[in-house]
């Protein structure tokens, strides 16, 4: 007995990436227009899936290049530019040949996708470390040194200890582990991309919590960055305990 198109639609909706090809093969000869429309959508989804597999393979180039090292760690930071809040560094060791689709520079992903990937990375990672340096320390030692400090903290929280570090563009002082700085590394290394996502989601969640304590500044939306409304709020209410005094001199 021929399946109802409504049942096939339901089946299509539940078909994961690894089942698309089987769906296409099963219904390719069903001549009903409604079914053929679903098959066409499935083929487009398969094309996108294969393209994403190819992209993930491409951004795992450095992981393959240094695969003789047992524990490869990607490192990235978030929050160098905001007027308020901490700088947060993420350090992530992924399993060998780890394939987490859609990992990318966190700025290129939607908030929803970042949250989804955060959970998957935390579930699959060998180890994850986070480092935090607050606004007062940033004012004390400058943002570059604060970034290095946050990165060293993140590395220090990893267990096992990494054998090599893939860094987004920088070489971190006072770290004895071999380092490989990669320009725009969060879009060229799956490990750095994963670290970028972990750091971004963590910091965004922190800023949303701070927004409840300091509601005037709109931290839930601007995450501490210098939006027009944020700057206007600083001018109206003055800085709060989270503001980086070395960053807001022109606005007070």
Starting at the edge strand found earlier in the chain, the sheet holding 164-168 runs 127-133, 87-93, 72-78, 164-168, 178-182
Asked if the structure places residue 250 within a domain, the reply is no
Residue 58 burial class via C-beta count within 10 angstroms: exposed 0-12, middle 13-18, buried 19 and up: exposed
Span 82-139, pLDDT tens digits = 999 999 999 999 999 999 999 998 989 999 999 999 999 999 999 999 999 999 999 9
Check which CATH number belongs to the domain holding 217 and give it.
3.30.420.10
Asked if the structure places residue 244 within a domain, the reply is no
Q: Does residue 252 surpass a pLDDT of 80?
A: no
Rounded to two decimals, what is the model's pTM?
0.91
Q: Does residue 251 surpass a pLDDT of 90?
A: no
Same domain, yes or no: 52 and 78: no
Span 139-172, pLDDT tens digits = 999 999 999 999 999 999 999 999 999 999 899 9
Same domain, yes or no: 141 and 208: yes
For the chain, what is the domain count? Answer: 2
Q: Does residue 178 surpass a pLDDT of 80?
A: yes
Question: Which percentage of the chain shows pLDDT scores above 90?
Answer: 90
Residue 118 burial class via C-beta count within 10 angstroms: exposed 0-12, middle 13-18, buried 19 and up: buried
Same domain, yes or no: 48 and 71: no
Could you tell me the residue range of the domain that residue 39 belongs to? Answer: 5-58
Same domain, yes or no: 37 and 76: no
pLDDT at 250: 83
Which carries the bigger pLDDT value, residue 250 or residue 142?
A: 142
Same domain, yes or no: 10 and 92: no
Asked if the structure places residue 129 within a domain, the reply is yes
Span 11-23, pLDDT tens digits = 999 998 889 999 9
């Amino acid at each position: 007995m021929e399946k109802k198109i409504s049942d096939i639609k339901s089946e299509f909706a539940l078909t994961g990436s690894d089942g698309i090809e089987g769906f296409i093969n099963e219904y390719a000869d069903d001549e009903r227009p409604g079914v053929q429309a679903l098959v066409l959508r499935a083929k487009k989804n398969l094309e996108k899936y294969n393209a994403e597999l190819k992209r993930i393979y491409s951004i795992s180039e450095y992981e393959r290049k240094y695969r003789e090292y047992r524990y490869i760690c990607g490192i990235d930071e978030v929050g160098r530019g905001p007027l308020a809040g901490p700088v947060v560094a993420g350090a992530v060791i992924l399993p060998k040949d780890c394939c987490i689709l859609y990992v990318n520079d966190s700025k290129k992903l939607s908030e929803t996708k970042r949250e989804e990937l955060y959970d998957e990375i935390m579930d699959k990672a060998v180890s994850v470390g986070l480092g935090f340096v607050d606004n007062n320390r940033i004012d004390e030692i400058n943002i570059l040194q604060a970034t290095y400090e946050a990165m060293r903290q993140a590395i220090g929280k990893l267990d096992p200890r990494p054998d090599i570090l893939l860094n987004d563009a920088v070489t971190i002082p006072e770290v004895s582990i071999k380092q490989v700085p990669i320009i725009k590394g969060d879009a060229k290394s799956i490990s750095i991309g994963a670290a970028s996502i972990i750091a971004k989601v963590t910091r965004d969640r922190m800023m949303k919590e701070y927004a409840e304590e300091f509601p005037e500044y709109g931290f839930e939306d601007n995450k501490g960055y210098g939006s027009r409304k944020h700057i206007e709020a600083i001018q109206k209410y003055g800085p709060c305990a989270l503001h980086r005094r070395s960053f807001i001199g022109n606005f007070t």
